[in-house]
Structure formats: structure tokens, C-alpha cells
């Protein structure tokens, strides 16, 4: 190896295999390594300059947009559009018994409620709502629910000392109502392999009735 | 090497006026040999750990059994050994490659032996000690949880000493004693490497120790994330890029025997690279709670960085002009060409990934993993092994054992890397698209836990292919190791140590180039000056002044850093305060430290980006103010599992977590998370709680929550023994919840036969052995602390602030306290929070 390392390059004629072009060398030699004095390729310089010019333009535009061009501005617009997509035809739902009951039989919106349920509830209540670490929702027994609108209260505000989270923090009010409607539709369907009943057996849902006068304090 | 040229430096002769006195010297190749051995050995270790990790993802249990792929050992679990893999690849494999390359080339480029053989050896053994300590502590769960900066503070100090004290001093003193007037471009890159890595390492690792194996970074949340990725990105830049560029500048023209294409391009791309790279760190934090201006700068400077990065690639590829026939037959040049190609691809892809809209898709997916492996295996790996084949015959003074095997290594590695990255690109893009897919009715196409599992199942086949790619690459490396070993085995009985002669540098030098005349005319004075300046004539002088050169590098790096660091720390509006965000309780803090030790961040992010699909999936996007007590931040960089930023809101149930940690695959069918049974069995270390609490308090002097802490009924934050008591009370409450949810019974880990007083096994009426609980989940177990942390995660945003600050009333008015059902009294004394 010792010979090849520092052997000065023999000049070669240009029409042979291109070797070292002596006239273009800088004259620098380091441990046998030489350097050409070629200029920086122009395309590289210009692409670099293009991005350098783009930088202040981009910054000024995004700063002047007052948030409109930032991710947050984009999210805001996308959220409004998506809400329209979701609930444009629905308007704002009221969390009352009539509304909950109505959407518990409406096929399209039960499917929507089921979607919400599948997204947020199955971790604890099971994929078929037959219970898991949390109660079975397909039997007739409920712990914190007497009337149909109690479902909304439990979903929205949580229950069991926070083990059931307050989904009002997380879901759109319509989603709370629709997932409650879906849950209402499950009552008494008794899926296979469900968890045993917890709480008290309650009567079938009724719309519009005032709460029973003797409604007792809810239990854990 | 002959002495003819070495003895005759072009400038040394004339300038001094008198005949120069020749000095004799030899090179220290023994230390280079050591680094080369270490490089190859650690490469195999890094690849092996990588393959184990790659197997664990698609196969959480050994197929056909129910034995977890981690063998049920916490020390072999993904979250703990993934950092081992990255550290082994970066610091052990690439690190030793850097030292081998720099020690070999610097001596020759400076025509002098390394300054001190003692320092060289301290560098070698110190570095191996660091690697060994990493290999011990990381599987133990001793980690700072900052990517590529996981090692705890005592090891960090050792790194600083070995890197700057041994390596740096040795290198710079060698520069001072050089017999070559000017520094070649390779040396510029080495200088940038040494000073910048020192700066990055020191400032990202400023911590408050709470013991020999645990510390908290002085930064929290947004600032910690910023510092980490300033470091992390530039670890890639100044540990995996600049030293390797320098090495390529030496080994490629040596092997190709062709002059480097352009000296001027070297100057331009070196300085632009050094100055611009530093800015690009925030592109790792696009769409996070990092302020948008910083993220935008990260993107813009990454785009600007494209051409400076490609300067190296262009210089290397054009150096091969007229030598391509050699590439066809020479395995070393083949390795170098593929390395250069991957360098070019990775440095194009990097700027592309930093573009916000691309990043929105790629971030948290395997796309990033593919990107880093094309860099690490393609650029660093191919260059390191090419260099090894270059060095082996010269260092071992024997012919390379087999050219054929070297070619086989090359083709296996090329095939392996492609079989690795292509499936992983597909996996990343597939999962990214599935995560964001939404139906016409405005809901996620793959929603909820089932939906997330679907996005995992879709990429499992790609994970399997990736294992094969990794195996092929490693097989190549094994063949390479064998080839190098056989070459070494054929070494002479005693190495020949050639002696060279060269004149020392004279004190005075007047050979600096003259200012050239402008090549243009008829333009403004400024244009003329620019024209002259851009020839780079002035740079020649810098190249013979190493200290001045180094000073300019430091200025470039530090100034660029401060432009981003100062506003990040100084502008208050970057992190708007959220009134309801309070420090973690002592138990939550202990639980958080378990989360860190287990390396949960390797698979779970804690950062919901302001992107519609993400907000739909995980909830309200994360706010900067939510992380002010997070030492260190846990935003993560990959979602092998779902985001956990608001898991306290979506999964607060204690039983769910215990079931899930006990057997994730059973509780969430299709989950690839390994079981964490040891968390259910091991006892929480409560003794260290007071010192942990004290450290966090010291990092937030004057914080109002130390006097008035909602989770202590508005009383001061508990410290000392009180902190331990508070933790135990909260643990008891969570444990009570757990038992209540678990059908009012203990969560049983193992059962045993019931035995009466006489030691007889008790049987029931039917003659069946009666079983009683043996081990159960105790209130003092680690899992309870971890659950306390998980229950808290992301919930502060929705807490209602204390109704009346002046009344001194405990802040009872939480959102949850409206809840009519919150009547339980199970051990909730002194701890509140609506749980």
C-alpha cells in the first residue's frame, strides 16, 4: 500500500480515460489527496438562494395571516366544516327524554351513536356492550340510571367517582345525546356472554314523563 | 507510505528561508486497530438488538405459545431495549467508526502522530466503558428518556470527559503540532464535530440529580422538547453526518485516486451546513405545542439545508468522474458510492419530511423509522464498512482475506437495506393514511381501539418483511466481520512501523494567496466585492489557523442556536399559563418516573396535534401550558400504540389498566403491547419520593401551588414524610377503587392451595382442592402509582379552577364534583380530584 498512497498522479492525455486535469488543480496536496478548483455547481447555488428568499416570504405571510395559516387556523376551519358534515341536517339536539328516545330508533343515527360508542366506550363496556371492566349495558339493570335522560347525565358528567369519565369534556353535545340514544336502544337486548346484572332493574323507557316522585338517591 | 512526498511539503521549504530541519515520526495505528475491532463488534450487537426489537413488534408472543417475546423479562422489553439499540448503533457502532476514521486520517493529514498515546487509549477505553455502562443501565430502566440522550447523569459526565477531555484535547493538540500547513476539509468537519457535540451534549443534559441513577432535566415541557430536539437533530448532524463527511473526504479520494471535485464547494457546503443545520431541530416538533414560529423556522431552515447537504454528495460523486470503471470492480468504492447515494436520499427526504403538510402524515409513523435507517444503515453503515475494508490491509499489513466475500457483503447489505426500508415506508404511509381517513359523515374510518388495532394489523406483514431485511443486512455484516477477522489473522508476527520525515512548520508564513481581481466589470462596488469574496480566496488563510477556524465554527453554531433558544425561553406567550394545571401529586410523580423508566415514550406519544383526525381520535389538542411540570417531556416520536395525552380522560378506570398491564393482548385483542406483569408484582420505592418532590420544587421556585395545592385540599404541597403519607393515601384510594371495580375483591395474580392448621390441603365437598389468593395487587405496587399518573394525564385542562382564591376553601368545584354519584368515601381522605 505504501507506494500507491503518495504517488503523484501522472498527467494523462485528455482523450484517454479522463484522469487528473492538472490545469484545474488548486495545487493543494494532503497525504496525496489533491483538490480541483471547480466552481460550485450553479444549480445548487440557485436552489439554495431560492429557499433563502422563500424563508422571509413564508414567515411574513404566516405571521400576517393572524393565525389563519397556522395549524390552529387550519384546524378551526376543518372543524367547522366537519361539524356541518356531521350534524348539518340535525341542528342542536336537546338532552331530553323525547329526543333520546326518538334517535334510539332512527337507524341512521343509531349507527352514528354506535360509532361514538365503538370509539370511546368499548374499552371498558366491551365491543358488544356486554360489559368488561365496566357494567353490561344490554341487560335491564342500571346503576346510575332510572330514566332515559339519566343516560345523558352519566355520559356527560361521568359516574362512579370518575371511573366513568365525564364525556361532556370530550364529545360534542349531539354526540352525547346520540350515544345515549344508542345505549338506550341496547337495553334488554341481552347479548351473549354479557356480564352479570349490576344495579337495579328498571322499567322500559318512557318519553316525556316527569321523574317518579319517589325516585330514590342513586347508588353506586 | 513512502517518505518522498511527506518530506517535501510544498510551502514549508521556501517560506522559512533556511533549509528546514527534518523530523522523524511514526503513526499510532494500534489505537486505530482497537477502534476498528470495537466498531465491528458493536455493529453486530446493535444489529442483533435491532432484530430482536423487529421481531417483538409483529410477534408479541412466540408463535404457537403464550410466552411473550421478551420472555416475560422487563430487561428485554421493547421500551427498555429500543434505547439500547439506538445508543448501540449511534454511539457504539458509529462512534467507534468515527474514532477509527479520525485517528487514522488526522495523523496522516497533519503529518504527525497523535498528540498523546495515553489520551488515545483513555479515549478508547473510556468510550468502551461508557458503552458498557449504557448496556447495563438501559435494560435496568435507568434512563433520562430523551432520545439518544437516555444515559443518566454520571454517564453523561463521563461522556463529556472522554469526548472533550480525552478525544478533543488529543485532536486539537495534534492540530497544533501538525507538519502540514493547511488543514484539509476533512479536518474542518472533525473540528465542527468535536465542538458542536460538546455544546449539544452539555446543554441538553443539564439536570438536577435525585440520586446516582435518577435526575430531572432543568427544562420542562415545551422548552425541554425544544432542547431535546435541538440536541437530537444535531446529534444526527454532528455525530452521524459531519464526521462521516470528513471521513468520506479522506477515504474516497484516497481509494479512487482522484482529486476532490471542488475545493470551493467544500468551503461553501461546510460553512452553510454548520450554520444552517443547527436551526432545523424544531422540525421534529411540527404541529406540537411548540410555538408555530419555531416550527416554521425548523421547516424553512431544513429546506435551506438541502443544498448544503447535497454539496457533500455532489463533491463525492463528481470526484469519481473518470474513476467509475474502478467502482465497478472495487468493493470499497461500491460501499462508498452506495453510502453517498443514501446520504443524498436521506438529506433530500429530511427537508421534505420537515414540510408541515408532509410531516402531518409522516410524523409518529414508521416513515420516520425508514428515514433514519436509510441514513444509519445506508450512509453510516456503508461508509463504515467501506472504510473498514480500506483500513484492514493497511492496519493488519496483510492482503484482504477475500474480495469475493467483501462483494457478497456489499450485495447482501444492499439487498437487506432495501428489504428493510421499502416495507417500512409502506407501513408508515399506510398507517398514516389510515389514522387520518374520515368517512363522508365526518367520522374516523378507523375509530376507537378497534380502529387503531386495524391500523396496526394492516402493517404487520411489513414488520415481518423488515425482519428479513434486517437479517440480510446483519448477515452481510457477519460476513464482513469474518473477512476482517481472517485478514487480521494473517497479520505479520510484528507490525512494521514505518518512520516518516517531515519538516516542522515555520513560525512565519507568507504564502497566503493574494486577493484576486474581480472576474466581472461594469457593476456596483458591492457586486465586485461579492464576486471576489465568493472565490473563497480568504478561506485559505483560515485553513492554517486552527484556533481561529474553531472559534468561527463555535460562533456559527452558538449564534444559530441562540437565535432560537433565547426566544423559546424568554417569550412568555410561547407557553400561556393554564390556571388549572398543577404539579403532579407525589404518587403521580413516582408513577410518571415508572412511565419514564419503562420507556413507554418509545411507543406512545403524549401530544395531540391540532389536526382534525387527531382531535377526533384523541380529544382536544395539547396546549403548551399543560406540560409545565413535565420534567422531562414525554411527547414521544412514534405511535406504535395510541397517544396517551388524554388517557386520564378516556380511560380513568383502575381495573381497566390493571387488566391491560396484566395481559394487553387479551384485554385488547390484536394489541402488540407486551405484558407488564412485573408492575403488578413489584413494590413502589416510596423512600425516594421526598427527594423527587424536593427536586421538582427546586425547579419551580416560588410556584404558588407549593403553598396551595388542590390535590392536598388547598393546603401546601406535601413534602418529606407528609409526601410519602400523601402518596400512600392516594394509592389506598386507587386500590380501593380497583377492588370495588373488580367485583369487590382483590386482583389476584397467583393462586395457591388452601392449607389448614395441620398443613393439610383443604378440599371441598366434591374432593376438589380449594384455591385461595396467593399474590394480589397491593396498594404499594408500582402499577397503582402508574395508574395514578395515567388517571391524571390530560385532565387538568377540564378541571374547574378553585372557586374563590381568597376563601382558603379547598378547590372542590371541579367539573366532576357536580356529579351526583360521587358519594364514595373509599379511602378518599385528603386526596381529591374527582376520582
Q: What is the ipTM of this complex?
A: 0.87
pLDDT one-digit tens code per residue, B724-738: 999 999 999 999 999
pLDDT for residue B824: 30
CATH number at residue B782: 1.10.760.10
pLDDT in the model for residue B319: 95
- Choose from A160, A168, A182, A219 for mutation: most chain B CBs within 10 A: A160
- Any chain B CB within 8 A of the CB of A202? no
Instruction: Give me the percent of chain A exceeding a pLDDT of 90.
Output: 40
| Closest Cβ–Cβ partner in B2, B651, B821 for A2 | B2
Q: Is the Cβ pair B108, A34 closer than 8 Å?
A: no
Q: Which of residues 379-398 of B touch A (CB under 8 A)?
A: 393-394
Judge whether B677 lies within some domain: yes
Q: Of B439, B473, B502, which closes a domain?
A: B502
- Same domain (yes/no): B493, B603: no
Report whether pLDDT(A7) > 60: no
Inter-chain touch B450–A122, beta carbons under 8 Å: yes
Residue B380 in any domain: the answer is: yes
Q: Do B494 and B594 fall within a single domain?
A: no
Which band of pLDDT confidence, cut at 50, 70 and 90, is reported for residue A211?
very low
**Residue B548: Cβ within 10 Å count:** 12
In this predicted structure, what is the pLDDT of residue A208?
56
Q: What is the pLDDT of residues B792-801, one digit of tens each?
A: 999 999 887 7
- Of residues B569 and B14, the one with the higher pLDDT is B569
- Show the cell assigned to B378: 445506508
Judgement on whether residues B493 and B595 belong to the same structural domain of the protein: no
pLDDT at res. A207: 65
Longest dimension (CA), chain A: 109
Residue B55, domain member (yes or no): yes
Look at residue B520 in the predicted model and tell me its pLDDT.
83
Q: Is the pLDDT of residue B481 over 60?
A: yes
Do B621 and B490 fall within a single domain? Answer: no
* CATH code of the domain covering residue B439: 1.20.210.10
Of the listed ranges A49-58, B63-72, B123-132, the least confidently predicted one is B63-72
pLDDT, residue B803, reads 54
A127 at the B interface (CB within 8 A)?
A: yes
- With an 8 Å Cβ cutoff, are A35 and B259 in contact? yes
Residues 6+ apart with CB under 8 A from B275: B556, B557, B560
Q: Does residue B86 form part of some domain?
A: yes
Report the domain count for chain B. Answer: 2
d(CA B544, CA B538): 11
Boundaries of CATH 1.10.760.10 in chain A? Answer: 97-201
Residue B820 confidence (pLDDT): 32
Q: Does B791 contact A at CB distance below 8 Å?
A: yes
Angle, alpha carbons B39-B45-B47 (nearest 5°): 100
* Rounded average pLDDT over B449-453: 93
Grid cell of B682 as nine digits: 413489584
E strand or H helix at A153: helix A148-157
pLDDT of residue B19: 61
CA–CA distance, B774 with B751 (Å, rounded to integer): 5
> Which among A41, A44, A79 is the nearest to B612, CB-wise?
A79
What the block records as the C-alpha cell of B822 is 360521587
Strand pairing category for B214-217 and B771-776: unpaired
Alpha helices in B571-618 (DSSP H): 586-597, 612-618
Cα of A130 to nearest chain B Cα, Å: 14
What does the pLDDT read at residue A68?
75
Asked whether the predicted pLDDT for residue B334 surpasses 60, the reply is: yes
Range of the domain at B758: 586-798
What is the mean pLDDT of the segment spanning B694-705? 95
Indicate if B215 and B348 belong to the same structural domain. Answer: yes
A100-129 average pLDDT score: 90
**B451 in any annotated domain:** yes
Instruction: State the cell numbers at A4.
Output: 500507491
Same domain, B49 and B193: yes
Torsion from C-alpha of B453, B457, B463, B465, nearest 10 degrees: 180
Please give the average per-residue pLDDT across B486-508, as a whole number.
Answer: 94
Predicted confidence band of residue B14 (pLDDT cuts 50, 70, 90): very low
Q: Which three cell numbers stand for residue B35?
A: 477502534
Shortest Cα distance, chain B CAs vs residue A203, angstroms: 21
Q: H or E element: which one contains A180?
A: helix A173-186
Cell of B466: 423488515
Q: Measure A111 CA to nearest chain B CA, in Å.
A: 11
pLDDT of residue B8: 43
pLDDT at B243: 98
- Where does the pLDDT of residue B763 fall: very low under 50, low under 70, confident under 90, or very high at 90 and above? confident
Which CATH number is A97-201 given?
Answer: 1.10.760.10
Cell numbers 392516594 label which residue? Answer: B730
Q: How many CB pairs under 8 A join A and B?
A: 246
Taking the Cβ of residue B26 and every Cβ of chain A, the question of whether any pair is shorter than 8 Å is answered with no
Q: Extract the C-alpha cell encoding B36.
A: 476498528
List C-alpha distances in Å: B423 to B378, B429, B641, B647.
16, 10, 19, 31
Q: DSSP character for B536?
A: T
* B-chain residues near A79 (CB < 8 A): 612, 615
Q: Is the peptide bond before B632 cis (omega within 30 degrees of 0)?
A: yes
Cβ-based contacts of A6 with chain B (< 8 Å): 1-2, 4-6
d(CA B468, CA B50): 12
Last residue of a domain, one of B475, B502, B529: B502
User: Pick from A31, A132, A166: which is nearest to B108 by CB?
Assistant: A31
Specify if B542 maps to a domain.
Answer: no
The answer to whether B729 touches B830, Cβ cutoff 8 Å, is yes
Q: Are B273 and B557 in contact (CB under 8 A)?
A: no
pLDDT 10s digits, A160-182: 888 899 999 889 999 999 999 99
Closest C-alpha among B297, B222, B351 to residue B563: B297
> Could you tell me if residue B84 is inside a domain?
yes
B451 and A30 within 8 Å at the Cβ level: the answer is: no
Q: Are A30 and B338 within 8 A, CB to CB?
A: no
**B314 interaction partners in chain A (CB closer than 8 Å):** 41, 44
Amino acid at each position: 500500500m505504501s507506494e500507491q498512497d503518495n504517488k503523484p498522479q501522472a498527467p494523462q492525455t485528455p482523450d484517454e480515460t479522463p484522469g487528473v486535469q492538472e490545469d484545474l488543480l488548486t495545487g493543494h496536496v494532503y497525504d496525496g489527496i489533491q483538490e480541483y478548483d471547480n466552481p460550485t455547481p450553479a444549480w445548487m447555488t440557485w436552489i439554495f438562494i431560492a429557499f433563502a428568499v422563500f424563508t422571509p416570504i413564508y414567515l411574513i405571510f404566516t405571521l400576517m395571516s393572524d393565525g389563519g395559516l397556522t395549524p390552529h387556523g387550519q384546524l378551526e376551519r376543518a372543524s367547522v366544516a366537519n361539524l356541518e358534515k356531521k350534524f348539518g341536517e340535525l341542528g342542536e339536539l336537546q338532552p331530553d327524554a323525547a329526543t333520546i328516545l326518538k334517535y334510539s330508533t332512527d337507524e341512521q343515527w343509531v349507527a352514528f351513536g354506535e360509532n361514538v360508542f365503538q370509539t370511546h366506550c368499548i374499552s371498558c363496556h366491551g365491543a358488544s356492550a356486554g360489559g368488561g371492566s365496566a357494567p353490561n349495558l344490554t341487560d335491564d339493570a342500571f346503576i346510575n340510571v332510572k330514566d332515559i335522560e339519566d343516560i345523558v347525565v352519566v355520559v356527560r358528567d361521568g359516574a362512579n367517582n370518575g371511573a366513568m369519565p365525564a364525556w361532556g369534556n370530550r364529545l360534542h353535545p349531539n354526540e352525547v345525546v346520540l350515544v345515549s340514544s344508542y345505549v338506550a336502544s341496547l337495553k334488554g337486548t341481552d347479548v351473549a356472554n354479557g356480564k352479570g346484572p349490576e344495579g337495579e332493574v328498571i322499567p322500559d323507557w318512557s318519553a316525556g314523563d316527569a321523574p317518579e316522585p319517589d325516585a330514590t338517591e342513586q347508588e353506586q | 507510505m513512502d517518505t518522498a512526498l511527506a518530506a517535501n511539503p510544498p510551502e514549508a521549504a521556501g517560506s522559512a528561508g533556511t533549509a528546514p530541519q527534518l523530523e522523524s515520526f511514526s503513526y499510532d495505528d494500534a489505537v486505530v486497530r482497537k477502534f476498528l475491532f470495537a466498531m465491528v463488534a458493536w455493529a453486530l450487537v446493535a444489529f442483533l438488538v435491532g432484530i430482536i426489537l423487529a421481531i417483538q413488534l409483529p410477534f408479541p408472543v412466540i408463535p404457537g405459545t403464550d410466552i411473550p417475546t421478551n420472555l416475560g423479562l422487563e430487561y428485554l422489553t421493547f421500551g427498555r431495549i429500543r434505547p439500547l439499540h439506538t445508543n448501540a448503533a449511534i454511539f457504539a457502532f458509529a462512534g467507534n467508526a468515527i474514532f477509527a476514521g479520525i485517528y487514522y486520517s488526522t495523523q496522516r493529514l497533519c503529518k504527525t502522530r497523535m498528540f498523546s498515546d495515553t489520551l488515545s487509549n483513555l479515549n478508547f477505553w473510556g468510550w468502551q466503558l461508557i458503552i458498557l455502562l449504557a448496556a447495563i443501565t438501559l435494560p435496568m430502566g435507568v434512563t433520562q428518556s430523551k432520545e439518544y440522550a437516555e444515559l443518566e447523569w454520571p454517564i453523561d459526565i463521563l461522556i463529556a470527559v472522554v469526548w472533550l477531555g480525552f478525544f478533543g484535547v488529543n485532536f486539537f493538540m495534534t492540530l497544533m503540532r501538525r507538519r502540514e500547513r493547511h488543514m484539509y476539509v476533512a479536518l474542518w468537519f472533525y473540528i465542527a464535530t468535536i465542538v458542536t457535540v460538546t455544546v449539544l451534549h452539555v446543554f441538553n443534559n443539564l439536570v438536577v440529580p435525585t440520586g446516582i441513577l435518577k435526575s430531572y432535566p432543568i427544562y420542562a415541557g415545551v422548552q425541554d422538547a425544544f432542547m431535546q430536539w435541538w440536541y437530537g437533530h444535531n446529534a444526527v448532524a454532528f455525530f452521524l453526518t459531519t464526521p462521516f463527511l470528513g471521513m468520506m473526504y479522506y477515504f474516497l479520494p484516497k481509494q479512487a485516486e482522484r482529486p476532490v471535485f471542488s475545493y470551493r464547494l467544500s468551503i461553501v457546503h461546510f460553512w452553510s451546513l454548520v450554520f444552517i443545520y443547527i436551526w432545523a431541530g424544531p422540525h421534529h416538533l411540527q404541529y406540537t405545542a411548540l410555538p408555530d414560529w419555531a416550527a416554521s423556522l425548523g421547516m424553512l431552515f431544513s429546506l435551506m439545508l438541502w443544498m448544503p447537504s447535497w454539496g457533500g454528495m455532489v463533491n463525492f460523486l463528481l470526484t469519481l468522474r473518470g474513476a467509475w470503471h474502478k467502482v465497478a470492480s472495487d468493493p470499497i468504492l461500491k460501499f462508498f458510492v452506495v453510502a453517498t447515494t443514501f446520504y443524498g436520499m436521506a438529506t433530500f427526504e429530511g427537508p421534505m419530511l420537515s414540510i408541515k403538510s408532509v410531516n402531518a402524515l409522516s410524523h409518529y409513523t414508521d416513515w420516520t423509522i425508514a428515514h433514519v435507517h436509510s441514513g444509519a444503515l445506508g450512509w453510516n453503515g456503508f461508509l463504515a464498512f467501506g472504510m473498514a475494508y480500506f483500513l484492514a490491509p493497511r492496519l493488519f499489513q496483510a492482503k484482504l482475506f477475500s474480495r469475493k466475500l467483501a462483494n457478497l457483503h456489499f450485495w447482501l447489505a444492499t439487498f437487506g437495506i432495501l428489504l428493510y426500508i421499502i416495507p417500512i415506508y409502506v407501513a408508515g404511509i399506510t398507517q398514516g393514511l389510515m389514522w387520518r381517513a374520515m368517512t363522508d359523515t365526518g367520522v374516523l374510518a378507523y375509530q376507537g381501539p378497534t380502529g387503531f388495532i386495524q391500523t396496526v394489523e394492516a402493517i404487520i406483514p411489513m414488520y415481518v418483511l423488515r425482519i428479513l431485511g434486517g437479517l440480510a443486512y446483519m448477515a452481510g455484516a457477519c460476513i464482513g466481520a469474518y473477512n476482517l477477522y481472517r485478514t487480521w489473522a494473517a497479520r505479520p508476527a510484528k507490525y512494521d512501523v514505518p518512520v516518516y520525515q517531515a519538516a516542522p512548520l515555520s513560525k512565519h508564513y507568507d504564502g497566503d494567496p493574494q486577493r484576486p481581481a474581480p472576474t466581472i466589470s461594469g457593476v456596483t462596488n458591492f457586486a465586485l466585492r461579492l464576486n471576489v469574496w465568493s472565490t473563497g480566496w480568504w478561506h485559505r488563510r483560515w485553513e492554517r489557523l486552527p484556533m481561529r477556524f474553531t472559534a468561527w465554527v463555535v460562533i456559527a453554531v452558538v449564534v444559530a442556536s441562540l437565535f432560537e433558544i433565547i426566544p423559546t425561553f424568554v417569550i412568555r406567550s410561547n407557553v400561556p399559563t393554564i390556571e388549572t394545571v398543577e404539579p403532579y401529586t407525589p404518587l403521580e410523580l413516582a408513577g410518571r418516573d415508572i412511565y419514564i423508566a419503562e420507556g413507554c415514550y418509545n411507543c406512545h406519544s403524549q401530544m395531540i396535534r391540532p389536526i382534525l383526525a387527531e382531535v377526533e381520535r384523541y380529544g382536544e389538542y395539547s396546549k403548551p401550558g399543560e406540560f409545565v411540570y413535565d420534567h422531562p417531556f414525554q411527547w414521544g416520536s412514534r405511535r406504535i400504540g395510541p397517544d396517551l395525552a388524554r388517557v386520564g380522560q378516556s380511560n380513568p378506570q383502575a381495573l381497566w389498566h390493571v387488566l391491560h398491564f396484566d395481559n394487553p393482548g387479551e384485554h385488547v385483542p390484536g394489541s402488540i403491547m407486551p405484558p407488564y406483569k412485573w408492575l403488578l408484582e413489584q413494590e413502589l420505592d416510596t423512600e425516594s419520593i421526598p427527594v423527587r418532590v424536593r427536586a421538582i420544587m427546586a425547579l419551580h421556585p416560588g410556584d404558588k401551588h407549593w403553598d396551595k395545592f388542590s390535590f392536598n385540599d388547598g393546603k401546601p404541597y406535601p413534602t418529606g414524610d407528609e409526601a410519602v403519607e400523601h402518596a400512600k393515601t392516594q394509592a389506598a384510594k386507587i386500590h380501593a377503587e380497583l377492588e370495588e371495580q373488580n367485583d369487590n375483591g382483590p386482583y389476584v395474580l397467583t393462586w395457591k392451595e388452601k392449607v389448614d392448621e395441620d398443613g393439610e390441603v383443604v378440599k371441598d365437598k366434591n374432593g376438589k382442592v380449594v384455591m385461595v389468593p396467593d399474590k394480589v395487587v397491593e396498594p404499594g405496587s408500582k402499577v397503582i402509582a402508574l395508574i395514578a399518573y395515567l388517571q391524571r394525564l390530560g385532565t387538568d385542562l377540564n378541571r374547574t379552577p378553585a372557586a374563590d382564591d381568597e376563601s382558603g376553601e379547598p378547590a372542590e368545584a371541579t367539573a366532576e364534583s357536580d356529579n351526583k354519584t360521587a358519594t364514595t368515601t373509599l379511602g378518599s381522605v385528603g386526596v381529591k380530584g374527582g376520582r
